[in-house]
Amino acid sequence: MRTILSLLIAFAAIITAPARVVNGITVYNGILDSSIPIDSIISELMGVGSFKLKDLNSFDKTGVDNAVGKITGAKISFESV
């Protein structure tokens, strides 16, 4: 006998594809009729939160450069203990 949890997991697997199609249609229509600002669509797709594209012109990337430098400069030792 299937549990409620397994039924919910199966339902989530089935409903995911139609939900993505509906979301895609909604975004497409929002772009065409300008009801959704393109800035919010791009920031949502990039997963960076809310920002305006013009804010990128004044973005200070030194913090990002420092973080990337630390990551690329890190030495990882795989010595066995």
pTM above 0.85, yes or no: no
Question: Domain-by-domain residue ranges, the chain?
Answer: 4-60
pLDDT value at residue 37: 87
What percent of the chain is predicted at pLDDT more than 90?
A: 33
Whole-angstrom Cα distance, residue 42 to residue 36? 11
Whole-angstrom Cα distance, residue 44 to residue 51? 10
Longest dimension (CA), the chain: 62
pLDDT (tens digit per residue) in 32-69: 999 988 888 887 877 777 767 677 777 778 888 888 88
Whole-angstrom Cα distance, residue 74 to residue 60? 23
